[in-house]
Amino acid sequence: MTTSITDKEFALFQRFIFDAAGITLSESKKALVSSRLSKRLDERRLSSFADYFKVLSSGQDAQEVQVAIDLLTTNETYFFRESKHFELLREQAEQARGRSTPFKVWSAACSTGEETYSIAMVLAATLQYAPFEVLGSDISSRVLDRARTGHYPVSRATHIPRAYLQQFCLRGTQDQEGTILVDRPLRERVRFMLINLNTTLPRIGPFDVIFLRNVMIYFSADTKRQVAERALSVLKPGGYLLIGHAETLNELNVNAIAVAPSIYRKPG
Ligand SMILES: C[S@@+](CC[C@H](N)C(=O)[O-])C[C@H]1O[C@@H](n2cnc3c(N)ncnc32)[C@H](O)[C@@H]1O
């Protein structure tokens, strides 16, 4: 049984998650961090948070670093969150209907995949057989494993429009009662990848639209600017960058035009 985290130990984990993910953990998260990490300490049979930090900083256990990142990130999400972004996506896809090149969208920091599948539903319904690509990515391998299954409790489906539920989701029966499964054809049009937004991006894009929502809220202004610049570097000229409603890029001096709150466009 582990004791609660000391101020000094908490400072070590603040530094750890800042260096690993760019996330700034405020003092108000101390109890949460303590409770999330103490379970892991018990599993690893370690007697203090400082000992756990030693494991993480040894450079010998990359897998444990991933576990700690998983434990220290917040993964709240839901289908069709912030509906006006999906309206804009539909309009953009409509305009691209006759195009021969794939319409490409990135759901960066996608958590358990609800955002990614919401995007894929809109594109499949709007573009039908025209080519499109949807990439979902996150720093947490645990949430990505869940995203790949496309399997959710039915309570998560509240915001999915009825027509999309009928067209793209299967309702579980018997031992799967109370769940929905995104159907295989749609799952196969989506891919998921581990990407840390706080490091150089792999070769992805260029995208028509990027969803970068509800993740920068945890970043310092400097990290936010670097992450936004990285995202803009893989966005097509004239493409849209969508962020969370509680977030802003104003005052970061990045190359994007504010079109409406939480909606930015890369100059064409
Ligand atoms: C609150 S969820 C947002 C999910 C979705 N975008 C939405 O708006 O509903 C934030 C996600 O950001 C991820 N995250 C945090 N830091 C990250 C980083 N440096 N790189 C990539 N993903 C990160 C977390 O793992 C988490 O899944």
Domain positions in the chain: 7-72, 83-150+185-265
Active site amino acids: 36, 138
Contact partners, residue 32, CB within 8 Å, separation at least 6: none
User: Cβ–Cβ contacts within 10 Å for residue 99, how many?
Assistant: 14
The alpha carbon of 224 and the centre of ligand 1 are apart by a number of angstroms equal to 13
Report pLDDT for 1.
57
Ligand 1 site, residue 262, Cβ cutoff 6 A:
no
- The predicted model scores a pTM of 0.93
The alpha carbon of 109 and the centre of ligand 1 are apart by a number of angstroms equal to 4
The alpha carbon of 143 and the centre of ligand 1 are apart by a number of angstroms equal to 10
Contact partners, residue 260, CB within 8 Å, separation at least 6: none
Report pLDDT for 74.
86
Domain 83-150+185-265, CATH among 3.90.550.10, 3.40.50.150, 3.40.190.10, 3.40.50.1000: 3.40.50.150
Tell me, which fold does domain 7-72 have in CATH? Chemotaxis Receptor Methyltransferase Cher; domain 1 (1.10.155)
Ligand 1 site, residue 85, Cβ cutoff 6 A:
no
Question: Which residue CA neighbors atom 11 of ligand 1 most closely?
Answer: 109
- Ligand 1 nearest-atom number relative to CA 112: 27
Task: Return the DSSP state at 157.
Answer: G
Q: Which helix (H) or strand (E) holds 95?
A: helix 83-95
Question: Which residue CA neighbors atom 7 of ligand 1 most closely?
Answer: 77
- Ligand 1 nearest-atom number relative to CA 111: 27
Report pLDDT for 217.
86
Q: Is 156 exposed, middle or buried (0-12, 13-18, 19+ CB in 10 A)?
A: middle
Contact partners, residue 133, CB within 8 Å, separation at least 6: 102, 103, 104, 105, 189, 191
- Ligand 1 nearest-atom number relative to CA 22: 19
Q: What is the pLDDT along the chain (268 residues), one digit of tens a residue?
A: 557 899 999 999 999 999 989 998 999 999 999 999 999 999 999 999 999 999 999 988 988 998 999 899 888 999 999 999 999 999 999 999 988 899 999 999 999 999 999 999 999 999 988 899 999 999 999 999 999 999 999 998 889 999 999 999 999 999 999 999 999 999 999 999 999 999 999 999 999 999 999 999 889 899 999 999 999 999 999 999 999 998 999 889 999 999 999 999 999 8
Q: How far apart are CA 231 and CA 233, in angstroms?
A: 5
